[in-house]
Amino acid sequence: MASVKFGKFKMSRAGYAALMDSPGVQSVIERKAKAVKSSADAGLSHGGYDYEDHEVKEFRGKLARGRVVRTKTDQARYSEAKRKTLSKALGAARG
């Protein structure tokens, strides 16, 4: 693997991938994704529906695994288009 040098810091793609795939980092990513999902679900007016409107999906990138929070129902897609419920929920990942 090629590495890039930034001053005294030497970046290693293999090292980055190993760090990002570590259980500690993956648990932080999962916790933040679930917080965004919960916040987005709470921002919807449910109208009597009894199922989850957003979902957390795992994906595998070139270097590491990650999570995506996406709309799951038509109601959630409409709410994102009109009120940006999922976009506004991204702030929940900070806390």
**What does the radius of gyration of the chain's CA atoms come to, in whole angstroms?**
17
**How does pLDDT run across 11-70, given as a tens digit for each residue?**
888 999 999 999 999 999 999 999 999 999 888 866 656 567 999 999 999 888 999 999
Convert the pLDDT of each residue in 22-38 to its tens digit: 999 999 999 999 999 99
- Residues of 6-25 as b/e, b for ≥16 C-beta within 10 angstroms? eeeeeeeeeeebeeeeeeee
Phi, psi of 85 (to 5 degrees): -65, -40
pLDDT of residue 46: 64
Is the alpha carbon torsion for 36, 38, 69, 22 positive or negative?
positive
Q: pTM for the full model?
A: 0.80
Beta-bridge mates of residue 55: 70
